[in-house]
Amino acid sequence: MTSVKASDNEIILIGKVLNNTNEPLKKRFRALFTLRNLGGKQSIEEINSCFKDESELLKHECAYVLGQMQDELAIDYLIKILEDESQQPIVRHEAGEALGALGDDRVMPILEKYSTCSISEIAETCYLAIKRIRWLKESKEEVSENPYKSVDPAPPSAEKNIEKLTTTMLNEKEDLFERYRALFALRNIGTTEAVLSLSKGLFVGSPLFRHEIAYVLGQMQHEAAIPSLEESLRDPLENCMVRHESAEALGSIGLSKCNNVLKEFLQDKARVVKESCEVALDMSDYNSSGEFQYANALLST
């Protein structure tokens, strides 16, 4: 996270970019991540204003960012989004995950309520959030270092054996929280073998689980993940939550063969997939540009 400071007026100007539907989506994403890095009450309010937008991808990312900011001022906003049945499931799920990321046990009643939601992505997310908060409060186990600095839905398992972790991760009879712990442990190991093990998870389990696999493969930025991510994106029967995350992962890897696949889906019938490919190509451009900062909206205000 950047140490750059900004005045409330500068933050409001960045918020105007985020909330301007006439701006290219890639520019609005950069504004969002600039606000994340700046932090504080005004940034949170500008991000919250974006939940009225029509783009479920952008709103989903807003909820994600509010969780990553680790500021309790976001709690009430996130609860409102989780409860709002007019919001798309991908947005409500991300609000639930963000509440878990904040780790405040005051949100347990709302998470428990939605852990039995009829929409499986929301129910599973809230279950994981409950388990994470309880683990943080009760476990004597130390959280191992996360090389990606993200706030994850579950702490990594202490197990280091790739074969054992893979078995746990792929076992659909295993508790979902333990499967998540295994997948984050594999991510942190970071070897080609770990990437190939994770890639198997793209094709088993619930949409929520598969989307998390795609997310961590994007974090790892390993070429060995490309075939599985491409297969996931190309599958018209795959859940759009998974396809969108696979697209963004390909953009994070950023090789020309990834970009060629993403360009094929810039007119996908599913808006969230189409927009994910647009944003993924912008991220890929950034990765190859030598720019110091992706979240650079402050420079253009």
Query: SS3 string of 1-13?
Result: CCCCCCCHHHHHH
Cβ neighbours for 152, distance < 8 A, ≥ 6 positions apart: 101, 146, 180, 184
Residue 222 annotated as binding site: no
Short-list 209, 176, 198, CA closest to 93: 209
Dist. CA 94–CA 122, nearest whole Å? 8
Residue 245 annotated as binding site: yes
- From residue 51, how far is each of 66, 103, 200 by CA, in Å? 12, 22, 34
Residue 230 annotated as binding site: no
- CB neighbour burial string for 34-47, b if at least 16 within 10 angstroms, e if fewer: bbbbbbeebbbbbb
Residue 264 annotated as binding site: no
Residue 163 annotated as binding site: no
**How buried is residue 54: exposed, middle or buried, by Cβ count under 10 Å (0-12/13-18/19+)?**
exposed
Dist. CA 69–CA 102, nearest whole Å? 8
Q: Give 266's Cβ-side CA count (13 Å radius).
A: 14
Residue 60 annotated as binding site: yes
**What distance lies between CA 295 and its chain's CA centroid?**
16
Q: Please state the residue numbers annotated as binding site for Fe cation.
A: 60-61, 93-94, 211-212, 244-245
Binding annotation: 60-61, 93-94, 211-212, 244-245
